[in-house]
Structures are given as structure tokens and as C-alpha cells.
Amino acid sequence: MNSLRTYSIHLRDTVVTAYLRARFPQAHFGKGIYFDGLPTLILARTAQVRVGDHAIFRNTTKDNPVGLFKKCSIAVTENGELRVGHHSGFSGVSIYCTTRIVIGSYVNCGGNVSIWDTDFHPQEVDARRRHDISKIKNAPITIGDDVFIGAQSLILKGVSIGEGAIIAAGSVVTKNVPAREIWGGNPARLIKKVPHV
């Protein structure tokens, strides 16, 4: 029975990956990507997307007890660039990329994490009323290797998270996080250093 289940999972992942490769020729999907259900992808023609080998995208609550609110949703606008390293995992993540988002290898994102490199709307009232998109602030995001981002966290524009850092669940990250530090809260602040093993 386990071998049949393993085969069906492999077949599903192969079919989903083949579909995504055909549907989004501007994107590169690495080997052995695991899809638990089909993610929502919105990729502009000039978007650049590269997902490394053995990435995991969990899109359903089946076999995933973290309580997903939604499936993974990834949008990359015109000339946006999204890079995801090898062996990184996402559960119901929301990624919205207008400039550049780089996510390293062995990054783990808990349930319903959001990573947005844009404010979506201008800060000025008049600009919002006029729908003046030229006033929207955007800035790249970089997430280093071996970072863990706890469930329900929000990573905002212009942030860099250093290698091996941990973001506590429910945090709102508005500034750079150095490598091997644990940050949490809204806005996120230093809690302590990551212990050495």
C-alpha cells in the first residue's frame, strides 16, 4: 500500500510539474518538486522565476495539520524576479513579487506566511484616490539559506533575513534580520541568538 501511495504522489507531482512548465514557459522548475495540490500562479510574461530542486509546496490540509487558510499563491509582475533555492518548503505561502525576491536553500516557511516586496497601494491619500501606481513603494527581499519563518508571519518590502535566522510565528518583519538571530513580534525585534549546537 505504501508503494502505491508513493507512486501516486510521484505521478501527481510529475503531472503538476509538467503542466506548470507548459503553462509558464518563462519559469524554471527544478527536479523532484513536491506539490500537495495545485498552487495558484500568476506570472507576467516578462517575469523571471526559478525554483530549485526538491522544493515543497503544500496547498491542501490533507496530510498537513498546520491549518492552512489557502493554497500557495505566487504572483510575479512584469519584470519581477523570483528565485527559490533547493529543498525549501512552503505551506499556503503568499508571495507577491514586483521587483526581486530571493529565497535561499533549506528555507522553511510555516503555514500561511506572506512575503511581499510591495506596499500594494500608495501611502498618500490623494495618490490612492487617483490609483496612482507610480507612488507605490517597492523594494527587493532576500532570505538566506536555512532560515525558518514561523506560521502567520509577514515579510515586508526591503527586508533581508540572514542565513540561519528564525522568525517567530505571527511576526511582522519590517527591517533586516542578521544571520543566526531569533526575531519576533509586530514589528519584529531581536529575541535572542540562535543557540549553537
Give the Cα separation of 175 and 169 in Å (integer). Answer: 16
pLDDT for residue 46: 95
Q: Which CATH class is domain 7-193?
A: mainly beta
Helices (H), the chain: 2-23, 125-130
For residues 53 and 86, give the distance between their C-alpha atoms in angstroms, rounded to a whole number. 5
What is the model's pLDDT at position 4? 55
The domain segmentation of the chain, as residue ranges, is 7-193
> What is residue 126's predicted lDDT score, i.e. its pLDDT?
81
Q: Which of 170, 113, 17 is nearest to 96 (CA)?
A: 113
Mean pLDDT by 10 residues, the chain (197 residues): 55 73 88 87 95 92 68 95 98 96 98 95 80 85 99 98 98 98 98 89
Amino acid 184: pLDDT: 98
Model pTM greater than 0.75? yes
Residue 142: per-residue pLDDT: 99
Q: 128: number of CA atoms within 13 Å, CB side? A: 7
Which pLDDT value is given to residue 16? 77
